[in-house]
Amino acid sequence: KGSLGVRLEQLTDTQQNTAGYGESGGALISEVLSNSTGQALGLEAGDIIVQVNGNAIANVQAVVQQTQTWREGETLKIEVWRNRRLQDLEGTVRGKPLETSTIAEVIYDEVPFRGGSLRSIIHKPKADGKMPLVVYLQGFDCGSIDDYYFPDSPLRQLVDGLVERGFAVYRVEKPGVGDSDGSLDCGDIGYDTEVAAFDAALSQLDKYQFVDQNNIFYFGHSLGGVTAPLLAVRHQPKGVAVYGTVFGSWYEYMQRVFRDQAYVRGDDWIQTETASRDAQAFLARLFVTKDTPRVKANL
């Protein structure tokens, strides 16, 4: 698959005013990564992405969804707001680079799942014989765990630290994320499907001859800290560790997702508070009164 290779931020009112951008929607580029599609296309930090291949961009997630179907070599057209005017940029999609490591053999593999596949990545210490394995289970969002552009990210530091201590580390993408293939979209599936995807991945671990099957551990981060114990019931790992996880109802949890994570990202406080309060009524109907969501269309 292809990738854009930029860091994106949700556009705040202040940033919008500073840029002189008077329309709604858009996604702000905060960094363009080297050797990426974005760099080859001529994207710059500070650009506001307005359209991708003729499709209007409402927010950061809209850009992410566009990139999910990209293939290397495809034609790409992006309209950006730069220097107080619209500019059109054209080029071709570059393929995703692969993670590399000086201390581990990096193995890219896949897991069959419901007519498609999930991308898996293993960091194996450069050593012979069987070794313990840590399975990393990620949190709520639909971001990729493939840190090819970010070798110093907290996740890669965790992986490298475990490898240095003799552990192999296994990660797997959620459906529709990163290099995963198929018809399922991470943003559309329910939690049961997400757990089933991880379950399918764990069922494949016995094919790796270098893994000590009696020394497999789960590390769950955030919502992954809820997922890990659920999967442990079936697969019986040697141990489970969780970090930054949650204890509470879905209603409470989703309210915190809307508010707390936006603050951590640095989103505008007023916009975050407004969006969080707007979401409360919907969340109450979904989780408390158990109403069925309906799509309202103006035809």
Q: Domain 104-243 - what CATH class?
A: alpha beta
What is the per-residue pLDDT across 44-65, written as a single tens digit (0 to 9) for each? 999 999 999 999 999 998 998 8
Q: Domain 2-95 - what CATH class?
A: mainly beta
Instruction: Find where tokens 């090819």 sit.
Output: 148
Question: Residue 82: in which H helix or E strand, if any?
Answer: strand 75-82
For the CA atoms of 11, 52, 42, 141, what is the dihedral angle to 10 degrees?
50
- Could you give the count of Cα atoms lying within 13 Å of 3 in the half-sphere of its Cβ? 23
Q: Supply the pLDDT for residue 297.
A: 47
- Could you give the count of Cα atoms lying within 13 Å of 166 in the half-sphere of its Cβ? 7
Token digits for 271? 């916009």
* pLDDT, greater one: 13 or 240: 240
Q: Supply the pLDDT for residue 293.
A: 75
Query: Full-prediction pTM beyond 0.85?
Result: no
What is the per-residue pLDDT across 184-215, written as a single tens digit (0 to 9) for each? 988 889 999 999 999 999 999 999 999 999 99
DSSP 8-state symbol, 251 = H
Q: Where are the domains of the chain?
A: 2-95, 104-243, 250-288
Share the mean pLDDT of the chain: 92
DSSP, collapsed to helix, strand or coil, labels residue 16 as helix
What is the per-residue pLDDT across 215-239, written as a single tens digit (0 to 9) for each? 999 999 999 999 999 999 999 999 9
What is the per-residue pLDDT across 158-180, written as a single tens digit (0 to 9) for each? 999 999 999 999 999 999 888 89
104-243: same fold as 2-95?
A: no
Whether 184 contacts 103, CB under 8 Å: no
Strand partners, 3: 94
